[in-house]
Amino acid sequence: MNLLELGNKVKELRKEKGITQEELAKQTKISRATLSKLENGNIAQVSIVTLSAILNRLGYELDIKPSNPFSL
């Protein structure tokens, strides 16, 4: 998933919960401008801590799995 897809998903989840950008930004201690950039795919990077805070507030957990798992 790239940052544009991730941003679209965050936006979709936020709207489903009826939360404004301003509310979510305040609750996750980021600026509304940063959240807007994330939702619109106009951000170069986002920290795991920030992404985790956003997803937790929206009722989800960040689950990181390897894309090509292998066995020894």
The CATH number covering residue 18 comes to 1.10.260.40
Q: Would the pLDDT of 66 be above 90? A: no
Q: What is the DSSP letter of 55?
A: H
pTM for the whole structure: 0.83
Residue 64 maps to a domain? no
pLDDT at 72: 54
pLDDT at 62: 87
Domain of 38? Answer: 3-57
Instruction: Mark 5-33 as b/e (b = at least 16 C-beta within 10 Å).
Output: ebbbebbebbeeeeeebeebbeebebeee
User: In sequence order, what are the residues at sequence separation of 6 or more whose Cβ sits closer than 8 angstroms to the Cβ of residue 71?
Assistant: none
Specify the number of domains making up the chain.
Answer: 1
Residue 68 maps to a domain? no
Residue 63 maps to a domain? no
pLDDT at 22: 98
Q: Would the pLDDT of 60 be above 70? A: yes
pLDDT tens per residue across span 4-42: 999 999 999 999 999 999 999 999 999 999 999 999 999
Q: What is the DSSP letter of 34?
A: H
